[in-house]
Amino acid sequence: MLKLLNLLKDGRFHSGQDLGAALGISRSAVWKQLQHLEAELGLSIHKVRGRGYQLAMPLTLLDSVEVSAAAPKWPVTILDSVDSTNAEALRAIGQGTPAPFLVLAERQLSGRGRRGRKWVSPFAENLYYSLVLRIDGGMRQLEGLSLIVGLAVLQALRNFGVSSAGLKWPNDVLVGSKKIAGILLELVGDPADVCHVVLGIGINVNMQKADGVDQQWTSIRLESGKNIDRNVLVGELSAQLNAYIERHQLEGFSTLRAEWEANHLWQDRSVSLIAGTSQIDGVVVGIDNQGALRLRVDGVDKVFNGGELSLRLRDDS
């Protein structure tokens, strides 16, 4: 099927006869493969008598040569389909693949966000990106790392025309109230010594419609009006990540704290912090030098951190 998709990806009409000749199969076999493309990958294909077949929208597929040239520091694996790039990265760690390395996919069948939420992952429209790093010296090296990744994603988005993007503690990138990107960090190994961290990033790139999304969302294309080459985006994101990670390693998170707070959309807003069945109401003061959230609760500043916390704007904010 992917050979057929590569023939159609230019968005032009191709006759069934030409497609069959290129693939060495009959026209009826071409028709069956087209049906599979629509059913399995969710692609829309126009069928016009006398002209042939055309993808409703041209596709730019991820290309290992282009990505490797754009992000030469990190060996890359590109998959057509995977449960999730983070899960694949964790399997590769278990098999002894040396870090750093990068895993990308055209689609995810079981994409995940924080707290087990589903991440909708249509074929060849968005970016599903997992970078694996080896961490020596224990958990202190991870302080504020997820927030650093957020800054890198934010800068990449702004360089692609999404000037109004901002951050939401701890791991979301929003445009107004609409989510455009999310971050999921997963740790494996000995947190007191040598471990690996997977920096999972999902960015809505060219998606214009989606079923099954349980929150407001947007994409680079919807915000910029332009179709984005995801290979170029991988290069820009990788460059930003490399720069921020190097600065984090050399200087620590405290030197980037002010930059993060300046880009926090909910700074000084009234919020509710949800932890299981508990709710704490307060006003966002900022973050501390470890990346924990600082809330003013009943006139007292308190610090909160943890992967299961959820932050929501209050109605009176």
Same-domain status, 84 and 189: yes
Per DSSP, 43 falls in state -
Q: Is 314 annotated as a binding residue?
A: no
Locus of tokens 């707290």: 115
**Catalytic option among 114, 168, 221, 257:** 114
**Which mean pLDDT values do the consecutive 10-residue runs of the chain (317 residues) have?**
83 90 90 86 86 86 92 93 95 96 93 58 92 86 92 98 96 95 93 90 90 82 94 97 95 94 96 91 95 95 86 76
The verdict on 226 and 85 lying in the same domain is: yes
**Based on the domain organization, do 12 and 112 belong to the same domain?**
no
Task: Using the structure block, give the residue that is written with the tokens 């069934």.
Answer: 16
**Domain edge (last residue) among 238, 261, 284:** 261
Are 20 and 166 contained in the same domain?
no
CATH number, residue 234: 3.30.930.10
In whole angstroms, give the CA distance from residue 90 to residue 84.
10
Find, among 172, 131, 182, the residue nearest to 260 by Cα. 172
Give how far Cα 275 sits from Cα of 197, 281, 298, 307, 309, Å. 24, 12, 18, 10, 5
CA count, 13 A, side-chain hemisphere, 182: 20
255 is in an annotated binding site: no
Q: Same domain for 80 and 10?
A: no
At 22, the amino acid letter reads: A
Type of residue at 68: S
pLDDT number for residue 316: 52
| Shared domain check, 276 and 149 | no
8-state DSSP, 14: B
Whole-number pLDDT of residue 50: 86
For the question of residue 114 being annotated catalytic, the response is: yes
Torsion of CA 116, 119, 164, 273, to 10 degrees: -20
Find the catalytic residue in 107, 179, 221, 257. 179
84 is in an annotated binding site: yes
Determine if residue 9 is labeled as part of a ligand binding site.
no
Predicted confidence at residue 223, as pLDDT, reads: 96
Q: Assess whether 18 and 79 both reside in one domain.
A: no
Q: Lay out the sheet containing 293-297: strands in order across.
A: 300-304, 293-297, 278-287, 270-275, 310-313
Confirm whether residue 86 is marked as ligand binding. Answer: yes
Nearest-angstrom CA–CA distance, 166 and 172: 9
Same domain, yes or no: 222 and 75: yes
Residues 51 and 192 in one domain: no
Partner residues linked to 296 by β-bridges: 283, 301
The answer to whether residue 179 is catalytic is yes
Distance of alpha carbon 67 from alpha carbon 61, whole angstroms: 11
The confidence score (pLDDT) of residue 116 equals 52
Residue 112 pLDDT? 60
* CB < 8 Å & 24+ apart, contacts of 186-192: 186/86, 186/90, 187/142, 188/90, 188/93, 188/94, 189/135, 191/138, 191/139, 192/138, 192/139
Token code pair at residue 22: 């290129």
d(CA 258, CA 57): 42
Domain ranges, residue 32: 2-55
pTM above 0.85, yes or no: yes
Question: How many domains is the chain built from?
Answer: 3
Which position among 91, 118, 226, 312 bears the catalytic label?
A: 312
85 is in an annotated binding site: yes
Q: How many CB atoms lie within 10 A of CB 47?
A: 12
112 annotated to a ligand binding site: yes
Strand partners, 129: 104, 201
Residues 248 and 294 in one domain: no
The enclosing domain of 8 has a CATH number of 1.10.10.10
Are residues 78 and 200 located together in one domain of the fold?
A: yes
User: 223 and 165 in one domain?
Assistant: yes
What CATH number is associated with residue 289?
A: 2.30.30.100
Residue 179 is labelled as binding a ligand: yes
